[in-house]
């Protein structure tokens, strides 16, 4: 992602260093790196923010710029989204996070996402400086998101275009492991069926055909390697050894 195409994240009057650090982590999760702070309550730099940023996200804080007012923090920004859960008297377009970030990606200039202080959110004077409002469609009985959650949500919607379309596959076999072929799976099923027959597992006799069928179906569903098959044969031999 080109840095000059990323939206700027502006935190207005943030109250806790821990929340600033958590917001930096949320930003970097989705490749956002430019943070601007407006009059942070406890000053800047803040050691609690650095501790919460935890490693790599510290570089977001290292380059964060501090401004006395929101108006000054919007330097170089030509389209801004104000995040708020409360209704406003101001007439502005209201978007969901997905729609807002779609517009940000299509916008040729520099955009910004503005977040308010933890306790009360943005004031009307802050929202008035934005072009549009972003509101998350959440449970109306509990609409509040904490600062880092809100940043994470917007970052995710921004990064969706650049993220893999599906999660990374889990459970990949290590290099060098060979999948068991169907004959090997068939012989494994034969081995287990033989020993289970000896042990009297297929009882009563009227249910035995369905039990055998279910076992065969189970073996065919498993993604076994040749090594797995050898282990399962060995386990069974050990269990049935007199």
**In which domain, by residue range, is 213 found?**
182-240
Q: With 90 as the cut, is the pLDDT of residue 151 above it?
A: yes
Which CATH number do you get for residue 19? Answer: 3.40.1280.10
**Shared-domain flag, residues 200 and 103:** no
**Shared-domain flag, residues 236 and 197:** yes
**Shared-domain flag, residues 153 and 198:** no
Tell how far CA 81 is from the center of its chain. 22
**Shared-domain flag, residues 136 and 43:** yes
**Shared-domain flag, residues 129 and 208:** no
What's the token pair of residue 114? 């503005």
Q: What average pLDDT is seen over the chain?
A: 88
pLDDT confidence of 118, banded at 50, 70, 90? confident
Q: Is 43 left (phi over 0), alpha (psi -120 to 50) or beta?
A: left
pTM for the model? 0.69
In this predicted model, what pLDDT tens digit does every residue of 72-106 receive, in sequence order?
999 999 999 999 876 667 888 999 999 999 999 98
**Shared-domain flag, residues 31 and 113:** yes
Q: Does residue 169 belong to any structural domain of this protein?
A: no
How many CB atoms neighbour CB 129 within 10 A?
A: 18
**Shared-domain flag, residues 212 and 106:** no
């Amino acid at each position: 992602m080109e840095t000059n195409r990323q939206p700027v994240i502006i935190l207005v009057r943030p109250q806790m260093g821990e929340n600033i650090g958590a917001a930096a982590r949320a930003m970097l999760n989705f490749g956002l790196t430019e943070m601007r702070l407006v009059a942070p309550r406890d000053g800047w730099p803040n050691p609690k923010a650095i501790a919460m940023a935890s490693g790599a996200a510290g570089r977001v804080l290292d380059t964060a710029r501090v401004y006395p007012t929101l108006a000054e923090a919007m330097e170089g920004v030509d389209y801004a989204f104000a995040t708020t859960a409360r209704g406003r008297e101001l007439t502005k377009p209201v978007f969901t996070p997905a729609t807002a970030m779609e517009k940000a990606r299509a916008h040729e200039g520099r955009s910004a996402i503005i977040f308010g202080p933890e306790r009360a959110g943005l004031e009307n004077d802050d929202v008035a400086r934005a072009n549009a409002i972003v509101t998350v469609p959440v449970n109306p009985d509990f609409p509040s998101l904490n600062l880092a959650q809100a940043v994470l949500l917007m970052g995710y919607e921004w990064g969706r275009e650049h993220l893999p379309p599906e999660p990374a596959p889990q459970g990949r076999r290590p290099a060098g492991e060979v999948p068991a072929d169907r004959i090997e799976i068939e012989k494994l099923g034969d081995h287990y069926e033989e020993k289970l027959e000896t042990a009297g597992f297929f009882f009563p006799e009227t249910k035995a055909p369905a039990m055998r069928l279910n076992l065969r179906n189970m073996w065919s569903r498993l993604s076994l390697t040749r090594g797995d098959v050898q282990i399962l044969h060995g386990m069974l031999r050990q269990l049935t050894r007199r």
